[in-house]
């Protein structure tokens, strides 16, 4: 059996919340609350869910940008949540994160030449000439040219900034790349060329992607497997095609029925979309299943017990009291 490149177990990340005057102490924001999944080498693993469900927190906690409150992250078999500083710096080369907002992650005061060279100076022993060469090579790989080296980030379009962000991480020769909303804010034609670039780079550099998005159409096209997150937990996980053709969890059904299609208004896809509602406040999740207040099939157990993520049909994993939501 293929060993996973990433093995995440019961991962939790809680932040200090705002709290209220009457309560005295702030509540905790349970941005991630027990997330377990594996990613296989070479796959594109999608993470979807509404705004605030914890997608970016997941990406950042995997990389150690946030220290996990609890849980384990194994990368190539090693627990990376408890590494020495030195080991963690070395590891940071191998796992890279492409920020949701590429503009803000590129230093506005630096020219592209320096932006691309800096990670190589910090993380490698390459001499100046080798650094220059690698920078040029990666710039070309993402479809930019030497003429861009002396520009500042604000002189680039949104699509070009994505390319720049990619060139920067590719310089370090990563094996796992977390792409956080990699096409948000781009118009459809630019989106298509950037997605194609991701596919090309994946083959060329032997990459594994974690693809975070709330654009289900894009995820369907790009990802081999998919995890659906709701309020800090995975509620359903499986092969992308099976999940789209036969969504089992009521939340997945709601999400898929809300995909806008030509000739159909968003949220009019089926009876599920009727109860579309609002996601819960992460500082005070309802007891039991976090989805029950929006669920059209809710039963008494849903209000009491948090459902575990359990194996279902066709290799699927589902967290629902209704036998995978079909009851």
Binding site for Mg ion (CB under 5 A): 55-56
Angle between helices 158-170 and 188-205 (to 10 degrees): 10
Question: Smaller CB distance to Mg ion: residue 4 or 59?
Answer: 59
CB of 284: closest distance to ligand ATP in angstroms?
A: 11
Question: Smaller CB distance to Mg ion: residue 44 or 56?
Answer: 56
Binding site for ligand ATP (CB under 6 A): 15, 29, 31, 49, 51-57, 100, 214, 282
Which of Mg ion, ligand ATP, none lies near 53, with the C-beta cut-off 5 to 8 A by kind? ligand ATP
CB of 61: closest distance to Mg ion in angstroms?
A: 12
Question: Smaller CB distance to Mg ion: residue 56 or 96?
Answer: 56
CB of 135: closest distance to ligand ATP in angstroms?
A: 30
Question: Smaller CB distance to ligand ATP: residue 36 or 175?
Answer: 36
In a 3-state reduction of DSSP, which class is residue 283? coil
Distance, CA of 30 to CA of 281 (rounded, Å):
10
- The tokens for 236 are 């359903």
CB of 16: closest distance to ligand ATP in angstroms?
A: 7
Contact yes or no for 96/171 (Cβ under 8 A): no
In a 3-state reduction of DSSP, which class is residue 174? coil
What's the Cα-to-Cα distance from 41 to each of 44, 245, 326, rounded to whole Å? 9, 25, 32
CB of 100: closest distance to Mg ion in angstroms?
A: 5
Which of ligand ATP, Mg ion, none lies near 282, with the C-beta cut-off 5 to 8 A by kind? ligand ATP
Distance, CA of 36 to CA of 39 (rounded, Å):
10
Which of ligand ATP, Mg ion, none lies near 51, with the C-beta cut-off 5 to 8 A by kind? ligand ATP
Among 124, 133, 141, 65, residue whose Cα is nearest residue 98:
65
Question: Smaller CB distance to ligand ATP: residue 52 or 267?
Answer: 52
Contact yes or no for 236/317 (Cβ under 8 A): yes
């Amino acid at each position: 059996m293929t060993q996973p490149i990433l093995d995440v177990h019961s991962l939790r990340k809680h932040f200090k919340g705002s709290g209220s005057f009457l309560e005295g102490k702030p509540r905790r924001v349970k941005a991630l609350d027990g997330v377990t999944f594996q990613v296989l080498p070479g796959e594109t693993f999608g993470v979807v869910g509404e705004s605030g469900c914890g997608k970016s927190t997941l990406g950042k906690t995997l990389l150690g940008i946030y220290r996990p409150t609890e849980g384990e992250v194994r990368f190539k078999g090693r627990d990376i949540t408890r590494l020495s500083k030195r080991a963690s710096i070395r590891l940071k080369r191998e796992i890279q994160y492409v920020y949701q907002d590429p503009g803000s992650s590129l230093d506005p005061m630096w020219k592209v030449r320096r932006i691309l060279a800096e990670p190589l100076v910090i993380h490698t022993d390459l001499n100046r000439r080798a650094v220059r060469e690698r920078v040029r090579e990666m710039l070309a790989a993402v479809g930019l040219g030497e003429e861009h080296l002396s520009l500042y980030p604000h002189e680039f379009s949104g699509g070009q900034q994505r390319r720049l962000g990619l060139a920067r991480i590719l310089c370090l020769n990563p094996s796992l790349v977390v792409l956080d909303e990699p096409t948000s804010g781009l118009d459809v034609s630019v989106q298509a060329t950037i997605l194609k670039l991701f596919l090309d780079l994946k083959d060329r550099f032997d990459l594994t992607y974690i693809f975070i998005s709330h654009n289900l159409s894009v995820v369907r096209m790009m990802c081999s497997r998919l995890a659906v997150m709701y309020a800090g937990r995975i509620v359903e996980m499986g092969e992308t095609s099976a999940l789209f053709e036969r969504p089992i969890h009521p939340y997945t059904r709601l999400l898929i029925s809300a995909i806008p299609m030509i000739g159909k208004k968003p949220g009019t896809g089926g009876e599920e979309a009727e109860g579309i509602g609002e996601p819960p406040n992460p500082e005070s999740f309802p007891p039991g299943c976090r989805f029950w207040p929006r669920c059209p099939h809710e039963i008494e157990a849903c209000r009491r017990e948090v459902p575990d993520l359990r194996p279902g049909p066709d290799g699927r994993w589902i967290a629902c009291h209704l036998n995978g939501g079909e009851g």
